[in-house]
Amino acid sequence: MNIRYLLKMANEIAAGFSALPDEAAASREVAGHLRRFWAPQMRRQIVEHARATGGEGLSALARRAVGELG
C-alpha cells in the first residue's frame, strides 16, 4: 500500500484520541485501535516505515503508538 495512505490514517486515529490527558493511555488506545482494525500487513508496513525513517510523517502520538506495535 502507498505509505502516505497509511500515515494519513494513523495520524487521524491519533487525532481521534488526542484529547485523552494521559499520553501513555492515548498511545495505548491508538495502538489497540490499530491492532483491532488494521490488517496485519498494514501494521507491518507502517512499523517497518517507522523503523526505517524514525517515524517520518507520523504525529508524535501516532509514532509512539506505532512503536508499541513493534
Partner 1 sequence: MMQICDIDHGTPASRSAEKVTLTIDGRSVTVPAGTSVMRAASEMGNSIPKLCATEQLKPFGSCRLCLVEIEGRRGYPASCTTPVEAGMVVRTQSPKLAELRRGVMELYLSDHPLDCFACPANGNCELQTAAGMVGLREVRYEPGANHFDAASRQPVDVSNPYFAYDPAKCIVCSRCVRACDDIQGTFALTIAGRGFASRMVAGESQPYLDSKCVSCGACVAACPTGSLMEKSLIERGQAQGSTITTCAYCGVGCSLKVETQGSEIVRIVPDRAGGANRGHACVKGRFAWGYATHRDRITRPMIRASIREPWREVSWQEALDHAAAELRRIQAEHGRNAVGGVTSSRCTNEETYLVQKLMRAALGTNNVDTCARVCHAPTGYGLKQTLGEAAGTQAFDSVEQADVVMLIGANSTDAHPVFGSRLKQRLREGARLIVIDPRSIELARSPHIEAAYHLKLLPGTNVAVLNALAHVIVTEGLVDVAFVRERCEVDSFEAWRDFVARPENAPEAMAAVSGVPAEAIRGAARLYASAANAAIYYGLGVTEHSQGSTAVMAIAALAMATGNIGREGVGVNPLRGQNNVQGSGDMGSFPHEFTGYRHVGDDAVRASFEAEWGVALDPEPGMRLPNMLEAAHEGGLRALYIQGEDIVQSDPNSQHVAAALQAMECVIIQDLFLNETAQYAHVFLPGSSFLEKDGTFTNSERRISPVRQVMAPLGGMADWQVTQALSNALGYPMSYGHPSEIMDEIARLTPTFHGVSYAKLERLGSIQWPCNEAAPEGTPTMHVDSFVRGKGRFMLTPYVATSEKAGPRYPLLMTTGRILSQYNVGTQTRRTGNLAWYKEDLLEIHPHDAEERNIRDGDWVGVASRAGETVLRASVTERVQPGVCYTTFHFPECGANVLTTDNSDWATNCPEYKVTAVQVVRVTQPSEWQERRRRFAEEQARLRPETARAGGA
Residue 18 found at the interface with partner 1 (CB under 8 A) = yes
Residue 28 found at the interface with partner 1 (CB under 8 A) = no
Q: Residue 42 is placed in which grid cell?
A: 498494514
Environment class of residue 21 by beta-carbon count within 10 Å: exposed (0-12), middle (13-18) or buried (19+)?
Answer: exposed
Residue 12 found at the interface with partner 1 (CB under 8 A) = yes
Mask 30-59, x = binds partner 1 (CB under 8 A)? ---x--xxxxxxx-----------------
| Strand, coil or helix: 56 | coil
The C-alpha atoms of residue 39 and residue 57 are separated, in whole angstroms, by: 20
CB of 53 to partner 1, least distance (A): 19
The C-alpha atoms of residue 1 and residue 24 are separated, in whole angstroms, by: 28
Which chain residues interact with partner 1 by CB under 8 A?
1-2, 5, 9, 12-13, 15-16, 18-21, 33, 36-42
